[in-house]
Amino acid sequence: MALSVDDRVGEVGKAPVAAGLQVRLRRLQTGPTSRATALVVLVAVLGFLSVYPLSMLLYGSLHSTPPGMAGTFNLDGYQQVLTPESLLTLLNTIGISFAKTIPSVVLAVMLAWILARTDTPFRGTLEVLVTLPFFIPPILTAMAWGMLGNPQVGLLNQLYQWITGSTDSPINVYSYGGVVWHMMQYSVPFLFLLIVDAFRAMDPSLEEAARMCGASRWRTFRTVTLQLMLPALTSGAILSFIRGIENFESPLFFGTPAGIRVITTEIYDSINQRSPPQYQYATAASFVIMALLFLIVLLQWRLLRGRSFVTVSGKGYSPGVIKLGSWRWATFSFCVLFFVVTVVLPLGQLLIGSFFKFFGFYEWDMLTLDHYRNVFGSSEFWRGFRNTMLLGLIGATLTMVLGGAVAYISVRTKWRGRSLIDAMAWLPWMMPGIVLGVGFLWGFALLPHAIPIYGTIWALLLAYISLGTPLSVRVMSSAYAQLSYDLEECSRVHGASWLQTMWRIIIALAWPSFAVGWVLVFFGIMRELSASVLLYSVGSEVLSVVLLKLWANGNAEQVSVIGLMMMALVILFRWVQLRLLRPRVGAL
CATH of the domain at 240: 1.10.3720.10
pLDDT of 168 strictly over 90: no
Higher pLDDT, 379 or 23: 379
Do residues 333 and 409 share a domain?
no
Instruction: Give yes or no: residues 336 and 481 share one domain.
Output: no
Contacts of residue 283, Cβ cutoff 8 Å, sequence gap at least 6 = 57, 60, 61, 63, 77, 438, 442
pLDDT at 27: 46
Residues 510 and 533 in one domain: yes
Tens digits of residue pLDDT in 558-584: 889 998 888 888 888 788 777 766 654
> Are 472 and 402 spatial neighbours (Cβ–Cβ below 8 Å)?
yes
Higher confidence at residue 394 or residue 502? 394
The per-residue pLDDT for 30 is: 53
Confidence of residue 51 (pLDDT cuts 50, 70, 90): very high
Is the same domain home to 458 and 504? yes
Q: What's the pLDDT band for 520 if we cut at 50, 70, 90?
A: confident
DSSP state of 163: H
What is d(CA 140, CA 350) in angstroms, rounded to the nearest whole number? 9
The residue among 263, 294, 548, 289 whose CA lies nearest residue 436 is 289
pLDDT tens digits, one per residue of 533-550: 999 988 899 999 999 999
> Which segment of 119-123, 171-175, 309-313 scores lowest on mean pLDDT?
309-313
pLDDT at 308 over 50: no
Shared domain check, 407 and 266: no
What is residue 382's predicted lDDT score, i.e. its pLDDT?
A: 94
Q: Positive or negative CA dihedral for 362, 363, 369, 370? A: negative
> Does 364 lie in the same domain as 253?
no
- What's the pLDDT at 214? 66
Average pLDDT for 168-194: 91
Residue 18 maps to a domain = no
**Within-domain flag for 148:** yes
The residue out of 315, 342, 369 marking a domain boundary is: 342
* pLDDT score for 312: 46
Q: pTM, whole model, 2 decimals? A: 0.83
SS3 content of the chain, % helix, strand, coil (to 5): 75, 0, 25
pLDDT at 315 over 90: no
Asked whether the beta carbons of 171 and 157 are under 8 A apart, the reply is yes
Which pLDDT band holds residue 184 (cuts at 50, 70, 90)? very high
In a domain, 316, yes or no: no
**At residue 91, does pLDDT exceed 90?**
yes
Angle (CA) 559-560-562 rounded to 5° is: 65
The 10 Å Cβ neighbour count of residue 14 is 9
User: In sequence order, what are the residues at sequence separation of 6 or more whose Cβ sits closer than 8 angstroms to the Cβ of residue 137?
Assistant: 526, 527, 529, 544, 566, 570
Tell me, yes or no, whether 51 lies in a domain: no
3-class secondary structure, 313: coil
Regarding whether 137 and 261 lie in a shared domain, the answer is yes
Q: Does some domain include residue 430? A: no
pLDDT at position 505 over 90? no
Confidence of residue 65 (pLDDT cuts 50, 70, 90): confident
Average pLDDT of the residues in 308-313: 46
Between 217 and 393, name the one with better pLDDT. Answer: 393
pLDDT attached to residue 15: 47
Mean pLDDT, range 326-333, rounded to an integer: 91
Is residue 440 one of the residues assigned to a domain? no
Average pLDDT over residues 47-65: 90
Note whether 327 and 383 are same-domain residues. Answer: no
Kindly state whether residues 368 and 333 are assigned to the same domain: no
Tell me what percent of the residues of the chain surpass a pLDDT of 90.
33
Q: Is 417 left (phi over 0), alpha (psi -120 to 50) or beta?
A: left
Lowest model confidence (mean pLDDT) among 27-36, 417-426, 494-503, 563-572: 27-36
57 belongs to a structural domain: no
pLDDT band at 481 (very low <50, low <70, confident <90, very high): confident
Question: pLDDT by residue (tens digit) across 137-147?
Answer: 899 999 999 98
Is 455 buried (19+), middle (13-18) or exposed (0-12) by CB count in 10 A? middle
- Cis peptide upstream of residue 103 (ω within 30 degrees of 0): no
Task: Give me the pLDDT at residue 1, please.
Answer: 44
Q: Is residue 38 part of a domain?
A: no
Q: Is residue 391 domain-shared with residue 292, that is, in the same domain? A: no
> Do 196 and 327 belong together in one domain?
yes
Which structural domain range is residue 376 located in? 354-414+447-588
- How many independent structural domains does the chain possess? 2
Task: Based on the fold, state whether residues 516 and 557 are members of the same structural domain.
Answer: yes
Tell me what pLDDT residue 13 has. 47
Of 585, 574, 241, 261, the closest CA to residue 432 belongs to 241
Judge whether residue 440 has pLDDT over 50: yes
CB of 500 closer than 8 Å to CB of 12: yes
CA atoms of 235 and 237, how far apart (whole Å): 6
Per-residue confidence at 276, pLDDT binned at 50, 70, 90? confident
Confidence label for 464 from pLDDT (cuts 50, 70 and 90):
very high
Cis, bond preceding 189 (omega within 30 deg of 0): no
Spatial neighbors of 583 by CB under 8 A, at least 6 apart, are 512
pLDDT at 202: 67
What's the pLDDT score for residue 401? 92
Name the residue with higher pLDDT: 587 or 363: 363
